[in-house]
Amino acid sequence: MGISRRHRAMNERGVTYLMLMFAIVLIGIATTAAAKQWKAIVQREREADLLAKGIEIQNALALYSATIKAGRVIPGEVYPQTLADLTRLPKPFLRKVYLDPMESGEWEYLRAPTGGIMGVRSKSHAKPFRQKAFPLAVRHFEGRPTYRDWVFQHPSPSSGSIMPQGTVPSSGLPPVPGSSSAPSGSAPVTQPTQGQPPMNP
């Protein structure tokens, strides 16, 4: 009788132990899944912050160059030596010196051949969640494999006009009254209007 009770107690303990181990495994799986989900949420937030701050720096570089060149005969773009130069009064171009949101540290700087900072990028080699539908200022980021490939710079590769494949860009000038276009891509021939001498090419 005592032996039977002892076996029963041992069996109950064994079942309890197995149930406890099973519960621990389930908790571990749930914790791992939650950690991965939380990591993805944090990365998405940092990614959005990277885009916002990077574009702001890119715009600040463009405004800085345009302002410094205004009224001067300076060939090419002009760039600041540090990001802090963009925050200086009386006319700050950037609210503050931002850090790299992905690494929480200094940016990797893209230096201009003539000196100064012409762009910034993250030091992170992580794969971005976002692969398309970028803002117009950085639409060339589409398909880039890592955050380090997102270079926020002036001039930006996205600043050029996008044209359908196979089209020929026009001169951008309005058509001259009385002009006729020659076939097969030849230059248009302008007919002189009354009272005006013909223009030599």
- Supply 191's token pair: 């007919």
Closest CA to 120 of 98, 95, 139, 140: 98
In the chain, what are the domain boundaries?
A: 50-159
What is the full per-residue pLDDT of the chain (201 aa) written as tens digits? 566 777 676 677 777 878 888 788 888 888 887 888 899 999 999 999 999 999 999 999 999 999 988 877 877 899 999 999 999 988 899 999 999 999 999 999 999 998 899 999 999 999 999 999 999 999 999 999 999 999 999 999 998 644 333 333 333 333 444 444 444 444 444 444 444 444 444
In 10 A of CB 134, how many CB atoms? Answer: 17
Dist. CA 165–CA 2, nearest whole Å: 90
* H or E element, residue 179: strand 179-180
Dist. CA 108–CA 39, nearest whole Å: 24
pLDDT of residue 195: 46
- Predicted TM-score (pTM) above 0.85: no
130 half-sphere exposure, CB direction, 13 A CA radius: 22
pLDDT of residue 15: 78
- Supply 59's token pair: 């715009």
Are 178 and 193 spatial neighbours (Cβ–Cβ below 8 Å)? yes
Three-state DSSP state, 174: coil
Closest CA to 122 of 141, 108, 138: 108
Q: Which residues 6+ apart lie within 8 Å of 177 measured at CB?
A: 193
pLDDT of residue 146: 98
- Supply 187's token pair: 């230059």
Q: What Cα–Cα distance (Å) separates residue 201 from each residue in 9, 142, 177, 180, 186?
A: 108, 43, 17, 15, 13
Q: What Cα–Cα distance (Å) separates residue 141 from each residue in 128, 154, 158?
A: 10, 14, 9
Q: Which residues 6+ apart lie within 8 Å of 145 measured at CB?
A: 127
Say which amino acid occupies 32: T
